[in-house]
Amino acid sequence: MNLNVGLLKNSAKLKDCIVSAFRRADNDFYPPFSSRVDLPSYADKIISKAFLVGSWEKSSEEDGVLIPEKLYSLYVGYADKNFEYSFLSYIWVDRALRGRSVGRRMHNIAESFVREKGMRGIRAKTWLENNEATIAFYKSLGYKISAPVYNAELKRSDLDLTLDFYRE
């Protein structure tokens, strides 16, 4: 598979592709992503407010917008100039591509984008239970991980993740 990895231009034309990726990824999250958000509405939100990095094999172009046939991974980040840190809201890689550096490639593109904006780093959240591979991935990227805090509503322990670009 000849996979392209890059920033996606935010466009409503990406919505169906993003929703399809969300549906394929749904059970990779606990609780399932669709139990917490309406997937089409969330796609609208991220298209309007987030920056997106993805991977795809085939694409077309409509009105100057690259439209992947299928997303094999997706990174959703927020880089609001009013904050010191970017926030990684969502990252997913198709199970068949895990361990092939797709997540790392997406993260590197996102990190470059955030650095160009002059931000101090990236923050994210994840959970502790049965999430060893994800935690190891973040550690390999240099993220510092907080002590677990139990979330009674979700019945799991949450972790705060911070990647600082500039250490004082």
Q: How far apart are CA 55 and CA 97, in angstroms?
A: 10
Residue 142's pLDDT band, with cuts at 50, 70 and 90, is very high
**Which CATH number does the domain housing residue 159 bear?**
3.40.630.30
Nearest to 93 by CA among 126, 54, 123: 54
Q: How far apart are CA 87 and CA 123, in angstroms?
A: 5
The fraction of the chain above a pLDDT of 90, given in percent, is 83
pLDDT per residue as tens digits for the range 76-115: 999 998 999 999 999 999 999 999 999 999 999 999 999 9
- Pairing between β-strand 59-62 and β-strand 65-68 as defined by DSSP bridges: antiparallel
Nearest to 59 by CA among 51, 49, 69: 69
Token readout for 24 is: 């394929």
pLDDT at res. 167? 59
pLDDT per residue as tens digits for the range 9-50: 999 999 999 999 999 999 888 789 899 899 999 999 999 999
pLDDT(137) > 90: yes
Q: Are 141 and 161 in contact (CB under 8 A)?
A: no
Residue 62's pLDDT band, with cuts at 50, 70 and 90, is confident
Q: Are 136 and 161 in contact (CB under 8 A)?
A: no
Token readout for 115 is: 């650095």
Q: How far apart are CA 142 and CA 19, in angstroms?
A: 30
Instruction: Name the E strands within 49-147.
Output: 51-56, 59-62, 65-68, 71-78, 85-93, 121-127, 144-145
Sole residue written with tokens 């990095």? 53
The pLDDT mean for the chain works out to 93
Q: pTM of the full predicted structure?
A: 0.93
- Pairing between β-strand 144-145 and β-strand 121-127 as defined by DSSP bridges: unpaired
Task: Find the domain containing 116 and state its range.
Answer: 4-164
Phi, psi of 54 (to 5 degrees): -145, 175
Q: Are 71 and 54 in contact (CB under 8 A)?
A: yes
Question: Considering its fold, how many domains does the chain have in total?
Answer: 1
pLDDT(1) > 80: no
